[in-house]
Structure 1
Amino acid sequence: MTAPRLYFVAAEASGDLLAREVIEAVRARQPGAHISGIGGAEMASLGIESPLDIAPLSVLGLLEGLKAYGTVVKLADIAADAIVADAPDAVILVDSWGFMLRVAQRVRARAPHIKLVKLIGPQVWATRPGRAKTLAATVDHLLCMHEIEAPFYEPYGLKTTVIGNPALSRHQWGNGESFRITHGIPANAQVVLVLPGSRSSEIKRVAPALVEAARILKDSDPDRTIIMAPAASVAAQFAEAFPDVAEWATVSTNPAERYDAMAAADLSLACSGTVTSELAMQGTPMIVAYKTGWVTWSLARGLLYKKRHITLLNIVSDDQEIVPEFVQTQQKPELIAARALQWLTDPDALADQRAEQQIALSRMKEGDRDAAEIAAEVILEEAGA
């Protein structure tokens, strides 16, 4: 049997990380597999050279998406050309609904024999269930995170496999003590970790409130240590937007320190996203902020989004606020800082929050196998390996 040829496509930092994990699982099963792809630093660390820069694809919101539409279409064409030229047995499209849909449609039109696997589906259980029909008409197999997703695709006959939440399969527990020693942070110092996002739009819309809230916390106690940890994909943009932050905070942009920083923190101020599950896995209490364009927000709240909360830990907790959310008009530095100070001055409150988050995590688990391992098995089957 010839070695399978696979092509992975990731358009954002979280997808790039998941792609790397799945590729490693594929190689563990099939060391001779030929793997090419489009991605970022995570895939590059495995020696996979991307034929295009994914940075322009990190858009957020309706208006931002419309403005970037021409770029998205152009890059989808380039991606499809690269995929067809590589002649893979299967293409794995990771997250990023809008871009991946366009890539899938183009590959299907040009080379219908290539298997298309969508790794992580759109949140049809929370918004726009009609996307289930669109996806079913475009790809051959969906690898989704939760059991609640599968019923949406059953009427359309799309093969669906639940892999669980990838963040819960990441067993790399952080070493908080090592992080503190490396950065000269006293063992008894209180540490606040700021995770301002991985998209350009998040650095513009969410980071300012989180940075200012952290500044308030620092001013209230100069001995408190603030860690700023923007994703590597937006590190340069963050440094340009906040040139003075290094004067009063420690800036960490090293992906290898990601979990160590989480484990070292007493509390995190985070942009909503995959990182919230990762923080919970490290046992780090958190406060979440989020802001998008008003047109996008109005449409989402009025027509599309069906849940009261946006953080997955809250949604799985019967849509109750386990993790405090400061969204849109509530995303104000003084409000975020006030809640943070309540916890930072009350050890029992922090302990209660850790316990609440662990209960929410237990509701998100789908089994004992790693998500990447399940995904790798299905992908190789689709590729005929």
Structure 2
Amino acid sequence: MHSKKKIFVIAGEISGDQLGATFLNNIKKSKKVELHGIGGSKLLKLGLIPIFNMDRISVMGLIEVIPKIPELLFLINFTIKKIIEINPDLIITIDSPGFNFRVLKKLNKIKPNLQNIHIVAPSVWAWKASRAKSISAYVNNLFVLFPFEKKYFIPHGIKTHFIGHPLVEIIKSNNNFSNNYKKKYISIFPGSRRFEIINHLELILGSISEVSTNHDYLVVAVENHISLIETIIKKYKLNKLIKIIPRSRKEEAINNSILAIAVSGTITLELALNKIPFFTVYKLNFLSYFFLKNLVFVKYITLVNIIFNKQIVPELIQKKFNKDNIKKYLFILLKKEKDYKYQLEKFKELENLLKNNNKLPSYLASNLIKKILEIRK
């Protein structure tokens, strides 16, 4: 009888946890695989045996990461130690390049023959294009989610596969836009990190308190930040107007929303595929933004806009993220049908761009993972 194959998974964000669970679900059903590593609730539900809590490596922003550097360095070394102990057949790292690539680079010097897959390409099309060459020294296989990404990595010898974006199969296709106008709520997605909520939610709530509308609001909250959000809502005396929905029930919020305000992230793609018009907001610490502004060479931060290479969704970044603009775009999406429908039509096109020959991403990913696992029988 063959022993189970061991896969060591590293997901450092909620979005990475969801991706990992989607791609590994079919493989785990076979009961021939054992999962170890770092992940969130969805990977844990699949049976992942964790080495520590995922939140410990979930950090964003150049300045925000500085106080956590000693702990992150410790966790990188601890993760490598656990990988060597577990001796997996395959390592799958998902996004979180700051942590994952340091693990893979150091591990490659110790166990150069250990196969790995990295899911979600680093955004070399946005900044530091040289990373495509540098990661080729320690990344064996790369699964990219967007069709335009392959061309950046193949010239450097990385086995690169466009698998499509898993959200196209998680989210049911809906092209019946007429129901949107009957929906009761405007949803607010203030981010999953504490600093994002603090940076964005107060200004959003201060703005909507000055807007007259027939719609109530839903704030979608990561469970461990609900008390923080409750405190901010009480400050603006909006308890009767706003309802908090835990992140685990975000589909309920999306399905009942006519439009949304979203902090930049994967949620913007979810809203687009659910055909919910929205505008994006984002504000970083001044120093983080100053450094990033000089490093990043893309026009947009919203994935929909990046894919189309034009502004489909309004973006309120840094100084543009202010009360006047929040109120302005709420008015536009609520009152100007042409702008509302324009987003809906583009979201319909987006769905086809995120599939590879109409095959489901989980099917392509699981087949590739199985083939790579068979290399080390």
TM-score, normalization by structure 1 = 0.87
C-alpha separation in 1, matches of 2:73 and 2:327 = 41
**Alpha-carbon distance between aligned partners in 1 of 2:224 and 2:111, rounded to the nearest angstrom:** 32
1:178 match: none
Matched, 1:260 2:252: yes
In the other structure, the counterpart of 2:210 is 216
1:314 maps to 2:308: no
- The 8 Å contact of residues 25 and 376 in structure 1, kept in 2 or not, is answered as yes
Residue 366 of structure 1 is matched in structure 2 by: 356
State the 1:155 CA deviation: 2.9
Separation in 2, partners of 1:262, 1:131: 36
Which residue pairs with 1:89 in the alignment?
89
Q: Which structure 2 residues correspond to residues 134-213 of structure 1 after superposition, within 5 A? A: 134-172=134-172, 190-213=184-207
Q: 1:203 & 1:311 partners in 2: Cα distance?
A: 18
Structure 1 residue 260: Cα displacement: 2.6
State the partner residue of 2:330: 340
Give 1:365 shift: 3.6
- Residue 293 (str. 1) matches residue 285 (str. 2): yes
Gaps spanning 5+ residues in structure 2: where?
A: 175-180
Q: Any idea what the Cα deviations from partners look like across 1:133-168, whole Å, max 9, x if unmatched? A: 221111211111123222222232111111112222
Whole-Å Cα distance in 2 between the matches of residues 32 and 383 of structure 1? Answer: 11
Cα distance in 1 for partners of 2:113, 2:227 equals 41
Instruction: Give 1:238 deviation, angstroms.
Output: 3.5
Residue aligning to 2:99: 99
In the alignment, does 2:221 pair up with 1:230?
A: yes
**Once the two structures are superposed, what CA deviation does each residue of 1:241-260 show, in whole Å capped at 9, x if it has no partner?**
545554431101051x2223
Give the match for residue 330 of structure 1: 320
Root-mean-square deviation (CA, aligned residues, Å) is 2.5
Helix, strand or coil for the counterpart of 1:205? helix
Given that residues 173 and 260 in structure 1 are in contact (C-alpha distance below 8 angstroms), is that contact kept between their aligned partners in structure 2? no
Change (3 A) 1:46 1:312: same
The one-letter amino acid paired with 2:322 is K
How far, CA to CA, are the matches of 2:85 and 2:228 in structure 1?
Answer: 34
- Quick one: which amino acid aligns to residue 101 of structure 2? L
Q: Tell whether the 8 Å contact from 1:194 to 1:270 is kept in structure 2 after alignment.
A: yes
Secondary structure (helix, strand or coil) at the match of 1:17 reads helix
Secondary structure in structure 2 of the residue aligned to 1:155: helix
Listed one character per residue, the Cα deviations across residues 259-302 of structure 1 (whole Å, up to 9, x for unaligned) are: 23212100000011111111111110011001112233223322
1:352 maps to 2:353: no
Q: What letter matches 1:208 in structure 2?
A: E
Q: Deviations over 1:108-145 (max 9, x none)?
A: 23333321211111111121111112211112111111
Aligned twin of 2:53: 53
Structure 1 pair 77–172 and aligned structure 2 pair: CA distance change class (3 A): farther
- Structure 1 regions of 5+ residues with no counterpart? 175-186
- In structure 2, the partner of 1:179 is none
Q: Which amino acid aligns with 1:251?
A: I
Alpha-carbon offset, residue 358 of structure 1: 2.2
Partner SS state of residue 308, structure 2: coil
Distance 2:63 2:184 in 1: 40
- Secondary structure of 1:250's aligned partner: strand
For residue 35 of structure 1, what is the aligned residue in structure 2? Answer: 35
Query: Partner of 1:354: helix, strand, or coil?
Result: helix
Contact 1:210 1:270 in 2 (8 A): no
The answer to whether the 8 Å contact 1:17/1:42 transfers is yes
Partner of 2:11: 10
- What residue number does 2:178 align with? none
Report how far residue 236 of structure 1 moved: 4.7
* Structure 1 residue 348 displacement after superposition: 4.6
Q: Is contact 1:287–1:324 with CA below 8 Å preserved after alignment?
A: yes
**8 Å contact kept, 2:261–2:279:** yes
- Distance across 1 between alignment mates of 2:20 and 2:241: 35
Paired with 1:56 and 1:18, the residues of 2 have a C-alpha distance of 19
Q: Decide whether the 8 Å contact of 2:35 with 2:47 is kept in 1.
A: no
CA change 1:169–1:234 in 2 (3 A) is: farther
- Deviation track 1:344-367 (CA, whole Å, cap 9, x = no partner) reads 134454233212332344434433
Normalised to the residue count of structure 2, the TM-score between the two structures is 0.89
In the alignment, residue 86 of structure 1 is paired with which amino acid?
Answer: I
The answer on whether the counterparts of 2:17 and 2:40 sit within 8 Å (CA) in structure 1 is yes
Q: Which segment is superposed worse, 83-92 or 292-301?
A: 292-301
Go from structure 1 to structure 2 and tell me whether the alpha carbon gap of 1:160 and 1:188 turns closer, same or farther (over 3 Å shift): closer
Distance 2:151 2:17 in 1: 27
Q: Distance in 2 between matches of 1:317 and 1:287?
A: 16
1:51 CA drift (Å) = 2.0
Q: Is the 8 A contact 1:313 1:361 kept in 2?
A: no
CA apart distance, 1:231: 2.9
Name the count of aligned residue pairs: 368
Pair 1:248-2:241 in alignment: yes
Cα distance in structure 2, aligned partners of 1:146 and 1:345: 33
CA distance in 1, matches of 2:290, 2:107: 34
Give % identity.
Answer: 23
